[in-house]
Structure 1
């Protein structure tokens, strides 16, 4: 908090002071006004320096905030670029996986049992044939089941042999999806970094506002001190003007006194001269007066 001016130290000047105070009192008042003016000017200068220092810090914080803003915007642009690439790759991967599904449906690979399941079932049936005592009809029925499953297994194997392109497409789809995931990871990392710069930008602007508020307070106090200094200066000038007037009045008074003395001396010399013309004897002082008056 900036301290206010101590009003008790200010010097007051009234019109009555100018009119009624003696020359000595006014000279003392002028000295007081001058000293207080200089003190206030120094105070104003110090407050202006503090204000300027804070304004410089405000600009630094604003510049810092702007740097964070630019970095944030730059990172957000990169985020957008990676998002676009991620979305494009995901769309491509989806197309490839859809193509894989379509191929599986065409080959009917999604229907029926897998080759491994068929193999396991055939092995179970063969084990039963070898280990159990069966009737002729039951064994014939079991052999037919085994043959049927072997035919299905051969058909499944044949279809799997035709899936070379499918596996390649599936591999490509997985690779594209993996690349999309890399871009998604990049999106997350860059977005977090952009958010950090955004937070730092907000903090820098907040600090700039706080410093600016303090600078404004110092400016108000600078104005207060400067206005008080200016008032003291104006009063100092008023006193100086009055002192010059008093000097002029005194000079006029001395001039009038000299003129009055001169006129008085002339009158006295004229009187002595008349006495001299009438034959009166003059003493040395009378002769000196005649001489000073130019009568001799």
Structure 2
């Protein structure tokens, strides 16, 4: 970051300086003002360049943030699409599972024992009949029980056999549920990515703000240097104007002196000429003065 201007190096000019300093002193002062002005202009130029670089970096960060914003919004749109598809599939799966439950209820497959259990119970009863010594009454009851179990087994087997669509419906419902789960997984993945881009967007905007603050500070320092350079330039111009005034004054004084000398020479020549007309003998110096005055 650029340092502050060293005010101790600045050149001060007062009205008293302009009016009372000698020409030589003013020439020296003009040189000092010019040199300090050039230094300050160089400083201002460097600060302007650094400010412009910082502003360019700010724009880069803003563009980066905007890219993350656009990517986040695209991902959020995809999240909504997958979420909608997931919800539609879950609703479809729920309907299918409801149908499965209805079919099971109609077939009473949820009540009582399944086929494997009934088959096992029949085998146990038949084994008991074959291995145990039973009274006639007991054996009769056992046979009736076995028959009842066989009838129940056959009835349930026929019901299952009559509904070949049940397994297919269960499989379809599970496939739909699985597809819904796939979309749910995409929702989670895309939402995580969208959050990453959101966080990166926030960070890029924060960095842009920090760099912009640096650029603003550098602009203030540029203004300080430029204003100081402009003041030194204005004072330099004032001194130059005063020097021209002094040059003009000197020239006028010289011209006045020349005019005065010429007038005096003409008056002297006129006096010599009058003496010459009166017959006075002139020496060489007098003749030269007459010649110089154009009287000979």
1:13 corresponding residue in structure 2: 13
2:241 corresponding residue in structure 1: 241
1:286 corresponding residue in structure 2: 286
CA distance in 1, matches of 2:131, 2:166: 41
Q: After alignment, is 128-137 or 104-113 more displaced?
A: 128-137
Aligned length: 296
Q: After alignment, is 202-211 or 19-28 more displaced?
A: 202-211
CA distance in 2, matches of 1:223, 1:162: 93
Equivalent positions of 1:171-182 (< 5 A) are 171-182=171-182
2:75·2:191 contact (CA, 8 Å) conserved in 1? yes
1:168 corresponding residue in structure 2: 168
- CA deviation map 1:180-203 (0-9, x unaligned): 111111111111111111111111
1:140 corresponding residue in structure 2: 140
Q: After alignment, is 195-204 or 5-14 more displaced?
A: 195-204
1:2·1:217 contact (CA, 8 Å) conserved in 2? no
- CA deviation map 1:170-221 (0-9, x unaligned): 1111111111111111111111111111111111111111111111111111
2:270 corresponding residue in structure 1: 270
1:40·1:228 contact (CA, 8 Å) conserved in 2? yes
TM-fit CA distance, 1:270: 2.2
2:61 corresponding residue in structure 1: 61
1:192 corresponding residue in structure 2: 192
- For structure 1, the 5+ residue unaligned runs are none
1:70 corresponding residue in structure 2: 70
CA distance in 2, matches of 1:246, 1:139: 151
1:91 matched to 2:107: no
Query: 1:267 aligns to what SS in structure 2?
Result: helix
1:2 corresponding residue in structure 2: 2
TM-fit CA distance, 1:89: 0.9
2:43·2:225 contact (CA, 8 Å) conserved in 1? yes
Q: CA RMSD in A?
A: 1.3
TM-score, normalization: structure 1? 0.96
- For structure 2, the 5+ residue unaligned runs are none
- CA deviation map 1:80-106 (0-9, x unaligned): 111111111111111101011111111
Equivalent positions of 1:207-222 (< 5 A) are 207-222=207-222
2:204 corresponding residue in structure 1: 204
TM-fit CA distance, 1:278: 3.4
TM-fit CA distance, 1:34: 0.7
